[in-house]
């Protein structure tokens, strides 16, 4: 019952946020939060550009979303699969959840990808600055 409530609440929050991020461009309106890491260090963190990328994605501009935050755009399909399997398991009362999250090397690979992305997107030269937000 509590689980069910959690899922319903999650859906409502996701739909509400999607409407906000569809209607308002974070590049124009300043009531969106700015990443403290970017604000004080003037460097990009692995999540910088996600808000603008979500806005672009909701308008169907996948390429410009990838230009803002490639890692976020690449992780969306995986997260979609994960959450739809979770919802499906919840409905059917059977366990279809992804097992790869509990493989010993999965967190290491993800950690390496995130750190690599973090470093390379702050290198101000031509092949890397496309990754910057």
Residues 13-42 that bind other proteins (CB under 8 A): 26-38
Q: What is d(CA 76, CA 84) in angstroms, rounded to the nearest whole number? A: 12
Cβ-Cβ contacts under 8 Å for 88 (sequence gap 6 or more): 96
Encode 57-108 in three state secondary structure.
HHCCCHHHHHHHCHHHHHHHHHHHHHHHHHHHHHHHCCCCCCCHHHCCCHHH
Q: Using the rule CB under 8 A, is 10 a contact of other proteins?
A: no
Residues 42-81 that bind other proteins (CB under 8 A): 45-48, 50, 69, 71-72, 75, 79
We find the least distance from the C-beta atom of residue 27 to other proteins, in angstroms, to be 5
We find the least distance from the C-beta atom of residue 92 to other proteins, in angstroms, to be 20
Which residues of this protein are in contact with other proteins, per CB under 8 A? 26-38, 45-48, 50, 69, 71-72, 75, 79, 82, 101-104, 106-108, 110-111, 114-115, 118
């Amino acid at each position: 019952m509590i689980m069910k409530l959690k899922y319903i609440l999650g859906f409502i929050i996701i739909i509400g946020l999607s409407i906000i991020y569809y209607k308002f461009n974070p590049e124009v309106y300043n009531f969106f939060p700015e990443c403290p890491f970017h604000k004080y260090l003037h460097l990009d963190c692995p999540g910088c550009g996600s808000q603008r990328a979500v806005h672009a994605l909701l308008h169907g501009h996948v390429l410009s979303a990838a230009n803002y935050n490639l890692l976020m755009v690449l992780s969306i399909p995986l997260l979609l699969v994960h959450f739809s399997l979770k919802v499906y398991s919840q409905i059917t009362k059977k366990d279809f959840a992804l097992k790869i999250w509990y493989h010993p090397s999965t967190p290491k690979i993800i950690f390496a990808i995130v750190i690599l992305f973090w470093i390379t997107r702050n290198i101000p030269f031509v092949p890397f600055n496309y990754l910057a937000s």
